[in-house]
Amino acid sequence: MKKNYKLLDKINFPKDIKNLSHNELKILSDELREELIDVVSETGGHLGAGLGVVELTVALHYIFNTPNDKLIWDVGHQTYPHKILTGRKDRIRSLRKGGGLSGFTKRSESEYDPFGAAHSSTSISSALGIAIANKLSNKSDNVIAVIGDGALSAGMAYEAMNNAGASKTKMIVILNDNDMSIAKPVGALRSYLAKILSGKIYFSLRESIKLIISAFSKRFSKKAGKAEDFLRSAVTGGTLFNSMGFYYMGPIDGHDIEALLSVLNNAKEINYQGPIMIHLKTQKGKGYKFAENSKDKFHGVSKFNVQTGIQEKTKSNIPAYTKVFANTLIKHAEKDSKIIGITAAMPSGTGMDLFGEKFPSRMFDVGIAEQHAVTFSAGLATEGYKPFAAIYSTFLQRAYDQVVHDVAIQSLPVRFAIDRAGLVGADGPTHAGSFDITYLATLPNFVVMAASDEAELVRMINTSVDINDRPSAFRYPRGNGIGINLPSINEKIQLGKGRIIKEGKKVAIINFGAKLKECLIAYENLQKKGINLTVIDARFVKPLDEKLFWQIATDHEAIITIEEGSIGGFGSHVAQFLADKKLLENNLKFRSIFLPDKFIDQDKPDLMYKFAGLDAASIENKILDILNSKVVIKKSN
């Protein structure tokens, strides 16, 4: 039930907070935090990061003139408080639901979201682009990038800082430092010093000293510059940012409204032709004891009880694919000391936390740095180790160049465990695993597999352990398996060998991935209509089971391929094989079902797959279409 608030109920847009007193801003922050907890308890989503930036969000919208001043959040899951204050308060409980608000920033959702951000470390680059555009257009609007919650661990952020420092373009970067250990914990004195160092008096003195120094020798100028850098770094720890061309302010307490207002206003008013870095220390999960005391600070949560902090869990005895992967890899690692686990800031999401508990010296979380994760894995492989890089499909996209150059070209046996394959529900199109089949299967020297169930996943892990002459990848979906017994770690698959699940004639359904269950439902329904079918689990897109597909093509009237990936993937490889062998010249009918050529908005996974045409009814209709049947099966509402 929606709560009543003294101030928040009157706030619909940032302009509504401009006349509040500083004390009222503190009250507003408390109410905003309470509302955020209440909302996420109902919707699920990212909580801890938003709790840590409540005061910052209020202060930014109080000091700056958004949306004319551009405010860019990185990572976008910090923005729930921002959404509440920018015209979306009445829709906030639609968060992450079908037709509702995105869990990240989204340009089409609000003019207050100038840049979409669901992956990390993009804010400084995009903010610099907007700042340069302003300069070219003679616009004086401010550009502010908030980067935090681990986003500064990715190399792209440093590339952007290097460029920004050299550009001499004014922009403000706010580092939300909640757990990265960039600086020691700060106290009231350091917050006070930060306010002084960001103020006009200090700035004017600093610039005056530069003018005086310029009249003397270059040698004296260099010494004086070093002295200033030493003084500032001794007080603030800003050496890194200063060396990259930033005017550094901080660190300060990011929950101190008075300090935030002072520093943000100083940064806004200072006539400095270059980028400014404001370093804040914040507490992830601030203000909610269950989040503060949680290991992950309630980073991502399901619905929960506000009074107890207990999250709703899906009641199922069927293990999740992620856990099956982790437990299987652990069993192999117990026997093989060469097996190494690598993840990029997602230990719990990929199951690598379980592996790390068992083998702490053989699990490496490299931070939000997928490019480094891949090449780091390649380096391990050159020395005879067996790296398993467990990375979400959508995040592996960020390391594609490294996959090509550092792994594939050198034919190094890196094993890619690709989690979150296919559509992922509430996280929406930015987190969907739509493209990995296409972007990996196009590479020479790769083995690319997809698990149709949890038992097949175990067999694929088992198989990949012994692939020592080339890279390999196996993909699997989010969520639980289908509930079948798991094989031992000794069961393996012959490379490029598919399996016949149901043997018939007329039409062959060739499945690649986790939609085998839907194929079997379609099979049963069509069998009742007198249509004889073969169902195949392909297992591999590379190498293809050419012998099996040749046999199927010569024994059937039609073939339909099914996959949870984009065009250019499994179906395209099968079609190319059939064309090369001139099998399509013999009146063989061929169709493919794959993800449509569009980004599919967030919703319940079943509804998303229905929209994509990858449910059983869609498969049935496609087969009937192939056979030119007049019978049409209507999709249920």
Q: What is the DSSP letter of 541?
A: E
The tokens for 497 are: 């060998």
Name the active-site residue from 88, 190, 284, 286. Answer: 284
> Counting Cβ atoms within 10 Å, is residue 184 exposed (0-12), middle (13-18) or buried (19+)?
exposed
pLDDT of 498: 98
Decide if 228 is catalytic. Answer: no
Radius of gyration of the chain (CA): 28
Quick one: three-class SS letters along 292-330? HCCCCCCCEECCECCCCCCECCCCCCCCEHHHHHHHHHH
Q: Look up the pTM and report it.
A: 0.86
Same fold, 46-78+114-291 and 321-475: yes
Q: What CATH class is the domain 321-475?
A: alpha beta
601 burial level (CB within 10 Å; 0-12, 13-18, 19+): middle
DSSP calls for 376-422: HHHHHHHTT-EEEEEEEHHHHGGGHHHIIIIIITTT---EEEEES-B
pLDDT digits (tens, 9 = 90+) for 329-351: 999 999 999 999 999 989 999 99
Give how far Cα 69 sits from Cα of 64, 138, 289, 564, Å: 6, 14, 34, 41
Tokens of residue 582, six digits: 């001139």
Write out pLDDT tens, residues 387-430.
999 999 999 999 999 999 999 999 999 999 999 999 999 988 98
Residue 587's pLDDT is: 86
What sign has the CA pseudo-torsion 122, 124, 127, 129? negative
CATH classification code of 500-626: 3.40.50.920
Q: Under 8 Å CB-to-CB from 427, ≥6 apart: which residues?
A: 96, 103, 118, 602
**pLDDT less than 70: residues of the chain:** 1, 179-239, 629-637
Q: What is the pLDDT of residue 181?
A: 35
Strand-pairing partners, residue 147, are 74, 175
Domain covering 46-78+114-291, topology: Rossmann fold (3.40.50)
User: Residue ranges per domain, the chain?
Assistant: 46-78+114-291, 321-475, 500-626
Q: Decide if 370 is catalytic.
A: yes
Whether the Cβ atoms of residue 77 and residue 301 lie closer than 8 Å to each other:
no
Q: Please report, for residues 353, 362, 479, 590, the alpha-carbon distance to residue 342 in angstroms, rounded to integers and kept in the order given.
A: 10, 8, 21, 40
- Check residue 455 and give left, alpha or beta (phi > 0: left; psi -120 to 50: alpha): alpha
Dihedral angle sign, alpha carbons of residues 251, 253, 258, 260: positive
Residue 132 to residue 363: CA distance in whole angstroms: 42
The Cα 165–Cα 358 span in angstroms is 44
**Alpha-carbon distance 213 to 417, whole Å?**
58
Alpha helices, DSSP H, located in 466-602: 516-528, 546-555, 570-580
Q: How many CB atoms lie within 10 A of CB 215?
A: 8
Catalytic residue among 370, 454, 518, 564: 370
- C-alpha distances (whole Å) from 596 to each of 392, 592, 599, 611 are 21, 11, 8, 9
Is 284 one of the annotated active-site residues of the chain? yes
Q: Which of 106, 386, 398, 478 is catalytic?
A: 398
